[in-house]
């Protein structure tokens, strides 16, 4: 587990299960520590873009429109688009305020309607406010390091919105999960700083989970989600409960990956054009993947059932996981000790049922494992077991007793 240095944002208080509250502040100045980043526009301590219309023509595109009933100089016109240094695409801007020839521009937010163009004159100095849309969470973050070092250890980002303004300060908060996003960003003037008050930044396990993309089966990998969650506020070596939960999550994820492999081999077997050698190859690869998938799943479910005793988890174990234990344990044991089953033995004793583990007709034709009196359906039962075990680990990791300190 990574160490989070003392100078990074720290956990101030626990909210509810599955949430951690933070307090953070960011200064919009060149020499101040970074605590906020913009997904689209770079860090808040990047300098504000000052553009002279005459001396930096490549950064400003002016649309000349003659005003009705008046004479205009060649440089009078309306500002249509503006390029910020280092950006590929132009941004729309609107007038925030004008003081003499100093024009303060605000970037138009994504969901804003069409706004009036900005009238400009020869000699105008254009100043573009910094737009901040996201606050990022990192491990091992050096707030005074380079941009590259600040990107190291990136965990996830929060969508942030403004709350209120005071002289020199913009108060902000994160957009909570499920809250409508209007596209509004935080717009910062030179010398202003962004402040997140206590309780305004809350890390939610559900938010982190929702950002993880699903696999082809619909299962969402759990290890990256829980690693990110358990990394928040972590210092020093990972405690035993963290290692336990992550190990169980990895085994679940591995079982899901192997199920996808099994499905691919099953599709291969359906191809009429395959020759007998190719069919046999696909069949044996399918059987091998099934053996490994059952072992990974069984070990993960064993950890789920034993979590209360091992790490003090208070989450109830789903009844389906309890009821499926005898069949999964027997099939897993047969696959792990296949050399003994080949000799017709269980724990060095003869057992006529042992050879049923080598009967593959139901596995190939019906996606079902049969071993003696035990059965396990790979198409319906196993995905549901994965789902329930995943939900158990999510709830356990989000419990206050497990949440990051």
Q: Choose among 315, 323, 329, 320: nearest CA to 398.
A: 315
If you search the block for the tokens 């700083």, which residue do you land on? 193
- Band (pLDDT 50/70/90 cuts) for residue 149 is low
Q: How far apart are the first and last CA of the chain?
A: 13
- Averaged confidence pLDDT in the chain: 79
pTM of the model: 0.73
DSSP per-residue string spanning 101-136: TEEEEEEPPTT----PPEEE-TT-EEEEPEEE-EEE
Q: Identify the pLDDT of residue 150.
A: 53
**pLDDT, position 326:** 97
Q: Indicate if the pLDDT at residue 144 is higher than 60.
A: no
- Give residue 62's pLDDT: 35
User: Pairing state of beta strands 169-174 and 193-204?
Assistant: parallel
pLDDT classification of 36: cutoffs 50, 70, 90: very low
pLDDT at 133: 94
- Residue 52 has what pLDDT? 30
Output the pLDDT for position 177.
Answer: 84
Residue 287 above 50 pLDDT?
yes
**Mean pLDDT lowest for which of 170-184, 245-259, 296-310, 391-405?**
391-405
Looking at the chain, the number of H-run helices and the number of E-run strands are: 10, 21
Give the model's confidence band at 401: pLDDT under 50 very low, under 70 low, under 90 confident, else very high: very low
Helix (H, G, I), strand (E, B) or coil at 193: strand
Strands (DSSP E) found in 266-398: 345-346, 349-350, 368-371, 374-377
Residue 395: pLDDT band with limits 50, 70, 90: very high
Instruction: With beta carbons less than 8 A apart as the criterion, state whether 319 and 304 touch.
Output: no
pLDDT value for 86: 78
Q: Tell me the C-alpha distance between 85 and 50, whole Å.
A: 10
Q: How far apart are CA 332 and CA 298, in angstroms?
A: 6
User: In residues, how long is the chain?
Assistant: 405
Residue 403 confidence (pLDDT) above 80: no
pLDDT digits (tens, 9 = 90+) for 162-202: 999 999 999 999 998 889 999 999 999 988 999 999 889 88
Residue 330, CA distances (Å) to 226, 292, 368, 371 in order: 30, 14, 15, 8
Cα dihedral 139→110→162→180 (10° resolution)? -90
- Rounded Cα gap, residues 180 and 192, in angstroms: 27
In 3-state terms, what secondary structure has residue 87? coil
pLDDT of res. 361: 93
* Interacting residues of 235 by C-beta distance below 8 A, sequence separation 6+: 3, 4, 405
Q: Is 228 helix (H, G, I), strand (E, B) or coil?
A: helix
Report the b/e string of 244-259 with b at 16+ CB within 10 A. bbbebbbbbbbbbbbb
């Amino acid at each position: 587990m990574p160490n989070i240095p003392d100078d990074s944002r720290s956990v101030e208080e626990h909210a509810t299960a599955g949430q951690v509250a933070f307090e953070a502040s960011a200064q919009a100045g060149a020499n101040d520590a970074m605590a906020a980043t913009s997904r689209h526009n770079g860090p808040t301590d990047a300098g504000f873009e000052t553009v002279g219309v005459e001396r930096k023509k490549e950064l400003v595109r002016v649309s000349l429109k003659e005003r009705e009933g008046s004479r205009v100089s060649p440089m009078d016109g309306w500002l249509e688009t503006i390029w910020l240094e280092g950006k590929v695409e132009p941004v729309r801007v609107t007038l925030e305020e004008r003081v003499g020839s100093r024009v303060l521009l605000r970037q138009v937010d994504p969901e804003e309607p069409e706004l009036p163009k900005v009238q400009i004159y020869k000699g105008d100095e254009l100043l573009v406010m910094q737009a901040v849309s996201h606050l990022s969470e990192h491990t091992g973050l050096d707030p005074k390091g380079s941009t590259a070092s600040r990107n190291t250890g990136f965990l996830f980002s929060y969508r942030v919105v403004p709350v209120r303004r005071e002289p020199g300060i913009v108060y902000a908060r994160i957009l909570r999960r499920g809250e409508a996003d209007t596209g509004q960003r935080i717009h910062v003037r030179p010398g202003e700083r962004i402040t997140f008050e206590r309780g305004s930044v809350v890390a939610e396990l559900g938010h982190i989970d929702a950002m993880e993309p699903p696999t082809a089966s619909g299962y969402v990998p759990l290890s990256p989600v829980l690693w990110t969650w358990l990394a928040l506020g972590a210092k020093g070596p990972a405690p035993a409960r963290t290692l336990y939960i992550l190990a169980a999550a990895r085994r679940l994820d591995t079982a899901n990956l192997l199920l996808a492999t099994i499905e691919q081999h099953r599709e291969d077997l359906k191809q009429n054009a395959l020759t007998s050698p190719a069919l046999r190859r696909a069949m044996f690869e399918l059987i091998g993947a099934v053996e490994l998938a059952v072992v990974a799943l069984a070990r993960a479910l064993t950890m789920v059932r034993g979590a209360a005793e091992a790490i003090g988890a208070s989450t109830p174990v789903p009844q389906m996981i309890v009821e499926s234990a005898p069949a999964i344990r027997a099939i897993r044991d047969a696959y792990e000790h296949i050399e003994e089953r080949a000799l017709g033995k269980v724990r060095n004793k003869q057992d006529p049922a042992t050879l049923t583990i080598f009967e593959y007709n139901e596995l190939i034709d019906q996606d079902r494992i049969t071993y003696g009196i035990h059965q396990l359906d790979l198409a319906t039962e196993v995905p549901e077991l994965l789902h329930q075990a995943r939900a158990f680990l999510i709830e356990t990791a989000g419990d206050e007793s497990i949440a990051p300190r």
